Amino acid sequence: MKRLLIPVALAAALLSACKAYDPTADSSDFVNITDVVPDALLEIRYHSSYNFVGSRIDGYYEPTALLCREAADSLKAVSDELLEQGYRLKIYDAYRPQMGVDHFVRWGKDLEDTLMKRYFYPMLDKSVLFPDYIAIHSGHSRGSTVDLTLFDMATGKEADMGGTFDWFGIESHPDYCGDPETGEYKPQEGGLTAEQFANRLILRDAMLSHGFKPYDCEWWHFTLKNEPYPDTYFTFPVKRPKK
> What residues are labeled active site?
218
Q: Please name the amino acid found at residue 75.
A: L
Q: Which residues contact 121 (CB under 8 A, 6 or more apart)?
A: 52, 129, 167, 168, 169
d(CA 85, CA 24): 39
The angle formed by the CA atoms of residues 86, 89 and 94, to the nearest 5 degrees, is 170
d(CA 151, CA 186): 25
Q: Residue 67 — φ and ψ, nearest 5°? A: -145, 160
Say if residues 47 and 60 touch (Cβ distance below 8 Å): yes
Q: What is the DSSP-derived secondary structure letter of residue 241? A: P
Q: Please name the amino acid found at residue 92.
A: Y
Q: Which residues contact 33 (CB under 8 A, 6 or more apart)?
A: 40, 42, 64, 65, 66, 67, 72, 75, 91, 94, 146
Buried b vs exposed e over 99-128: b needs ≥16 C-beta within 10 Å?
bbbebbbebbeeeeeeebbeebbeeeebee
